[in-house]
Structure 1
């Protein structure tokens, strides 16, 4: 029988050689980076990498070994590029131009826009973030709110971007790329939906329930208990509460906030919770200025990648090798490009930190497009 310990000793010896060769390769990678920085050549040379992998694959002793060595080389070349990006980042500043560092967001006499009516959850989020005395105005749609801020007719807009129960608000992801706006803050708001009806109405009277599609989705388990109720979608939970108040029909109810019920003179028809106990919505604060407050600790970006195997993996490797923690990733289809997607990503960090700069330079070089949506 073979001696296992001797085999393991030989494997350890080979692994030691691999380590020394890897470190030697990284030293040469540094020299390559210095040359490319001096000459302006791009770090990523796809043709060279493909030819190298093809050559290695053809010379391998078996198909299995060919696949294995190609995978090792892909990883090694990816790590080499990341090292080159780190060196390139020391000479690259254009990515972060125009950002304004502040102790606090300028909010005195600021105009804040939200979608819906007074009593909407966005209204509550605005007051919680900016203070109860904030000067707010409401509009009919999210796009209107973004347009007004982009045209500098208001300072900020408060927009829902995801819910802990129902998931992302897809339209917001798409809209924030269409206008020159930037994320400068966020507010997480606990959501406590109530079933609201006219004074004197009873839950047994209800035939139609109005609310925003997200609110209906967040209460879907409760609504399953009432399959005979018709569910009607409106632009906003507060709009739903106002409709019930205006129509004066005891067969109608709204799913909305307690404050919306008080504002429109409605009563609570159901005592138990309509959604999960930990139901919360994350709102983003957008501005037409590239503000970064002191101690900002989250970065949101969007990028588009070449439509080929491994492109997302290699882009995300820039976070791994710079020890950055990704907190969220979403994909959205790219218009007019069938089954191709752009990625929205949140990770912890500040644009002033070297590791963040390294990672973003790397992603920029791997991606077809990179957008920094905000640091907040």
Structure 2
């Protein structure tokens, strides 16, 4: 019997950066489920239409994607992995179109912002924001646009048969996005781990957060991320999202036991294998 391909819900369409990240994590033998929003990817997992969700959580230039932290809490699906993807942006044109023909560039607003240094040299070219890098590339192909190009990745160029007019036009060549992989609780049980994503609140007292962070430090855990977000509808109350890494599982287990004494609403969002190579 043929093994079923993993179904991975992505925000955006095929050849988007989410699909590229999914290929990097799972390999290309997967079925991607296109979704219009991050919430829809979680709904697909909840409905068992998808086996996994891959979701951007932070970018090295734009910072944390805060609404996605709320989704982690609201749906409570475990994080089972991470992947870092270099964001490389190219100017893609309908075959035969030359650079001097270009009057308009379309792409996702963040992608356009990341290429402003390049476009500063061409003030006559108009920048127009679209919903998704890959969707803009697809539009250039579908509508056979001869004066409009898209900013997207090489995956989009290949899938939609577009020419690469200019490569690597992003301003910062060390730009990357971190994605989290989530699944249902049954699949999560088989994961070996040396990293965890945690969420908790601390009392609104002097030194309360420092006490928790000191426990991690004394247990020799590396804290690779901390992010705070206000608790909806509650003044002066915050959720803290923290990523910790360890060499010995025992250190981590001991630290968690101690941290529980000083936190409220403590939640382990996921335990997984560190995977931070770009």
Q: TM-score, normalised by structure 2?
A: 0.85
Out of 205, 211, 232, the residue aligned to residue 107 of structure 2 is: 211
Deviation at 1:312, TM superposition (A): 1.8
Q: Which runs of 5+ in 2 are unaligned?
A: 273-278
Correspondence 1:258 to 2:134 = no
Correspondence 1:306 to 2:237 = no
Out of 114, 121, 136, the residue aligned to residue 240 of structure 1 is: 136
8 Å contact kept, 1:197–1:269: yes
Correspondence 1:145 to 2:145 = no
CA distance 1:201–1:337, shift in 2 (3 Å): farther
Cα distance in 1 for partners of 2:220, 2:64 equals 26
Deviation at 1:371, TM superposition (A): 1.5
8 Å contact kept, 1:166–1:218: no
Q: Which runs of 5+ in 1 are unaligned?
A: 1-106
Counterpart of 1:358 in structure 2 is 254
CA distance 1:202–1:305, shift in 2 (3 Å): farther
Q: 5 Å matches for 1:107-126?
A: 109-126=5-22
CA deviation profile, 1:66-87 (whole Å, cap 9, x unmatched): xxxxxxxxxxxxxxxxxxxxxx
* Structure of higher CA gyration radius: 1
Secondary structure of the residue that 1:285 maps to in structure 2? strand
Correspondence 1:273 to 2:169 = yes
CA distance 1:373–1:203, shift in 2 (3 Å): same
8 Å contact kept, 1:193–1:275: no
Let me know the Cα RMSD of the aligned residues: 2.4
Correspondence 1:345 to 2:242 = yes
Correspondence 1:336 to 2:233 = yes
Out of 263, 270, 278, the residue aligned to residue 367 of structure 1 is: 263
Deviation at 1:295, TM superposition (A): 4.0
Q: 5 Å matches for 1:142-181?
A: 142-181=38-77
Cα distance in 2 for partners of 1:367, 1:295 equals 26
Out of 176, 182, 187, the residue aligned to residue 286 of structure 1 is: 182
More helix by share: 1
Q: 5 Å matches for 1:57-206?
A: 109-206=5-102
Q: Which protein, 1 or 2, shows the higher relative CO under an 8 Å CA cutoff with sep ≥ 6?
A: 2
Secondary structure of the residue that 1:176 maps to in structure 2? helix
Counterpart of 1:324 in structure 2 is 221
Cα distance in 1 for partners of 2:240, 2:91 equals 36
Q: TM-score, normalised by structure 1?
A: 0.65
Cα distance in 2 for partners of 1:194, 1:111 equals 28
8 Å contact kept, 2:10–2:54: yes
8 Å contact kept, 1:209–1:231: yes
More strand by share: 2
